[in-house]
């Protein structure tokens, strides 16, 4: 079979990203422009501003991705784009651009689910990895425990009932004055804190053993901060960060391994922005090693939003003939 070179475009949140990937696993270029500096001023992503920023840079980002890959528009076999889930305005920028590109260059258009993109980052990092495997997807908007049965075939075993893991990181970081984006800042602060300093709750949901809940933990952190303030006690930010992170990681690893044991899993992967977290990577590695499970975690640059994971996922979808017409629309609450 001949090679398939796919241009992947991602704009579902605050990264404008484009990449060129060959056969779903070989990255020829991966260009990302983050809007973090803009949104930091507001303490979180402002959807309308995010849309405008995507419009400002998308032409340049795609052009740079093609240039770095040494390809031009005609060398591309298909253009892939995230069409959901995500923020509707930001998604529409990528979808509209991809449709125009596909129409103008007479190329196939491949719609990609954002979470499928995150999972597929593992195929890039590990060219030998093939389904079936289990994957914990943890990002700013999602916390899913997924049984990857085959390429593009997913069974969601558990999901968050309220906040996503990354959302909890971001909210707690704001409360303890670390700012946005919270994940990397808590990750760093926690390295110098005591994870056992404060006993924050580990939520388990009755009857739904693989589901997650992080809003109670977030409230517990806020209550702790309030009570310190009322008592006039100084808050040790690093201890709060480390103790909060320990509670998140415990639950993520606990549910993951419960499912891995039950399903007799041999290969376990993680994906999404929170998968770049040091404590989570270490704890998952250890839990998998204890069970003789092969553990997979993409490099941090492939964990947070990027275009390569979208182009990668699109390759496997294209093998099954999945394409979209020019009536493709953004679907903000798209289900896996």
Site map 298..327 versus ligand KG4, x via CB under 6 A: ------xx----------------------
**Position of tokens 């260059």?**
105
Least distance from C-beta 299 to ligand KG4, angstroms?
Answer: 12
Residue 8 binds ligand KG4, judged by CB under 6 A: no
CA distance 311 to 27: 9
Least distance from C-beta 142 to ligand KG4, angstroms?
Answer: 6
Q: Report residue 161 as tokens.
A: 């009932």
Residue 253 binds ligand KG4, judged by CB under 6 A: no
Cα 203 versus chain centre, distance: 22
Q: Which residues contact residue 24 at a Cβ distance below 8 angstroms, ignoring those fewer than 6 apart?
A: 4, 6, 120, 123, 124, 311, 312, 313, 314, 315, 316
Let me know if 9 is exposed, middle or buried by CB neighbors in 10 A (0-12, 13-18, 19+).
buried
Strand pairing category for 108-113 and 133-138 = unpaired
Q: Report residue 17 as tokens.
A: 């990203």
Looking at beta carbons only, is 246 or 310 nearer to Zn ion? 310
Residue 143 binds ligand KG4, judged by CB under 6 A: no
Cα 308 versus chain centre, distance: 13
Cβ of 235: how many Cβ atoms within 10 Å? 15
Least distance from C-beta 228 to Zn ion, angstroms?
Answer: 33
Number of residues in contact with ligand KG4 under rule CB under 6 A? 19
* Residues of this chain, 181-210, that bind ligand KG4 according to CB under 6 A: 181-184, 187
Least distance from C-beta 326 to Zn ion, angstroms?
Answer: 25
Looking at beta carbons only, is 76 or 168 nearer to ligand KG4? 168
Looking at beta carbons only, is 211 or 305 nearer to ligand KG4? 305
Least distance from C-beta 171 to ligand KG4, angstroms?
Answer: 9
Instruction: Please report, as ranges, the residues that interact with ligand KG4 according to CB under 6 A.
Output: 13, 139-141, 166, 169-170, 181-184, 187, 272-274, 276-277, 304-305
């Amino acid at each position: 079979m001949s090679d398939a070179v796919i241009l992947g475009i991602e704009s579902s949140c605050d990264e404008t990203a484009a990449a060129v990937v060959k056969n779903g696993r070989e990255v020829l270029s991966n260009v990302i422009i983050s809007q973090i500096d803009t949104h930091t001023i507001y303490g979180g992503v402002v959807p309308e501003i995010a849309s405008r920023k995507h419009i400002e840079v998308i032409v340049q980002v795609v052009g740079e991705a093609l240039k770095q890959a040494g390809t031009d528009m005609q060398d591309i076999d298909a253009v892939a784009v995230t069409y959901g889930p995500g923020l509707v305005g930001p998604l529409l920028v990528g979808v509209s651009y991809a449709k125009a590109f596909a129409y103008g260059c007479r190329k196939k258009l491949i719609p990609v689910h954002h979470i499928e993109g995150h999972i597929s980052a593992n195929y890039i990092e590990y060219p030998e990895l093939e389904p079936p495997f289990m994957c914990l997807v943890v990002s700013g908007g999602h916390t899913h425990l997924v049984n990857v049965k085959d390429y593009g075939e997913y069974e969601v075993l558990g999901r968050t009932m309220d906040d996503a893991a990354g959302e909890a990181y971001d909210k707690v970081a704001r409360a303890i004055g670390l700012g946005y984006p919270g994940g990397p800042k808590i990750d760093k602060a926690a390295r110098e804190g005591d994870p056992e300093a404060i006993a924050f709750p580990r939520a388990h949901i009755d009857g739904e053993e693989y589901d997650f809940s992080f809003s109670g933990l977030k409230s517990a952190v806020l209550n702790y901060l309030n009570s310190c303030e009322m008592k006039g006690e100084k808050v040790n930010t690093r201890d709060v960060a480390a103790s909060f992170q320990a509670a998140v990681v415990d639950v993520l690893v606990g549910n993951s391994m419960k499912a891995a044991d039950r399903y007799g899993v041999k290969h376990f992967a993680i994906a999404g922005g929170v998968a770049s977290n040091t404590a989570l990577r270490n704890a998952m590695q250890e839990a998998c090693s204890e069970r003789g499970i092969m553990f997979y975690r993409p490099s941090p640059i492939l964990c947070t939003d990027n275009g390569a994971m979208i182009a990668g996922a699109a390759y496997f979808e294209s093998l099954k003939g999945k394409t979209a017409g020019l009536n493709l629309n953004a679907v903000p609450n798209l289900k896996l």
